[in-house]
């Protein structure tokens, strides 16, 4: 196993988070590729784990905190770390220490670049991006937002703890219409899938829908709303990760439309 930087021949694999075999990825659009095209010139770093057969089996991506969902200075923020864990494709490579190797590589890279610490986010529930896993690797919680935890590992004594950018306002309801508000950043295919499926679902009911979209690559937009990726239907967020099926999203929209009459 070796840890390498993202190379052009692996970009397609990176854009779909190592799941080229997944039919769900067909709904993700080109948002990740567009996001990458902009962010690779703004400090995005990507490390990948390649096995002896030449397959990419894990990845970690991180950005300067100034380009992330958190407030801080002179830090890197991990957007996600993922080791392929499905039977399909290259197979399940989890629980082999690959995630730890990727995290260590990001730490070493960040130190060499002069960053004062590495920041991660985690969930209190025992699945993707578990906060408990990061704690075992020496990360400490510095902020909370619902089920999410913001954790960090400072490298220097003068490092200042980061904080989440929290939601500040909610979309307004609209008389006689179902208000569907979408926020998209582009970095996460799962979020992009939810975004695209919702757009497709509301098209059927467009005469009854007020659709508003916000791109959150701009940090000022993130600060204004306190959101990076979200699907909000009449003031209620729907789950984005793992994304709901198109049919479930459509039923949620249809249910709200029926309440108009």
pLDDT of residue 222: 94
Q: What are the start-end ranges of the E strands in the chain?
A: 2-5, 45-50, 56-64, 70-71, 76-83, 117-123, 140-145, 148-154, 163-164, 178-184, 209-215, 230-233, 236-237
On whether both 124 and 30 belong to a single domain, the answer is yes
CATH number at residue 208: 3.40.30.10
Shared domain for 159 and 183, answered yes or no, is no
Question: Residue 126: what pLDDT?
Answer: 81
- What is the value of pTM for the model shown? 0.94
Domain CATH for 116: 3.40.630.30
Looking at the fold, whether 103 and 192 belong to one and the same domain comes out as no
* Series of mean pLDDT values for 10-residue runs along the chain (261 residues): 97 97 96 97 97 97 97 98 95 96 98 98 91 98 96 98 94 92 97 97 95 95 95 94 94 95 78
Q: Residues 30, 121: one domain?
A: yes
Residue 109: its pLDDT value, please? 98
Q: 170 in a domain, yes or no?
A: no
Rounded-to-integer distance, Cα 165 and Cα 113, Å: 25
pLDDT at 33: 98
Q: What is the model's pLDDT at position 148?
A: 95
Same domain as 128, residue 52 = yes
Of the residues 164, 186, 220, the one at which a domain ends: 164
Residue 117 lies in a domain: yes
Q: Looking at the 3D structure of the chain, how many domains does it have?
A: 2
Please give the pLDDT value at position 14.
Answer: 98
Given this model, what pLDDT does residue 57 score?
A: 98
Q: Do residue 26 and residue 123 come from a single domain? A: yes
Whether residue 171 lies inside any domain: the answer is no
Domain containing 224 equals 178-258
Are 241 and 184 within one domain?
A: yes
């Amino acid at each position: 196993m070796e840890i390498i930087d993202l190379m052009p021949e692996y970009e397609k694999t990176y854009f779909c988070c190592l799941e080229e075999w997944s039919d769900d990825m067909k709904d993700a659009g080109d948002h990740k590729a567009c996001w990458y095209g902009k962010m690779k010139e703004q400090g995005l770093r990507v490390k990948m784990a390649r096995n002896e057969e030449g397959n990419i089996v894990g990845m970690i991506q991180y950005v300067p905190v100034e380009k992330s969902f958190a407030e801080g200075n002179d830090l890197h923020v991990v957007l996600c770390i993922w080791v392929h864990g499905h039977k399909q494709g290259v197979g399940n490579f989890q629980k082999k220490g690959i995630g730890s190797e990727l995290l260590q590589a990001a730490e070493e890279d960040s130190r060499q670049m002069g960053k004062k610490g590495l920041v991660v986010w985690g969930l209190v529930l025992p699945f993707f991006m578990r906060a408990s896993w990061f704690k075992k690797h020496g990360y400490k919680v510095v902020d909370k937002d619902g089920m999410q935890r913001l954790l960090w590992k400072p490298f220097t004594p003068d490092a200042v703890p980061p904080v989440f950018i929290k939601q500040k306002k909610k979309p307004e309801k609209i008389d006689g219409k179902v208000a569907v508000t979408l926020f998209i950043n582009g970095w996460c295919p799962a979020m992009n899938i939810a975004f695209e499926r919702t757009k497709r679902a509301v098209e059927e009911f467009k005469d009854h829908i007020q659709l508003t979209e916000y791109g959150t690559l701009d940090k000022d937009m993130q600060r204004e709303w306190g959101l990076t990726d979200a699907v909000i239907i009449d003031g209620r967020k729907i789950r984005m990760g793992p994304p709901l099926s198109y049919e479930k999203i459509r039923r949620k929209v249809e249910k709200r439309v029926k309440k108009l009459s």
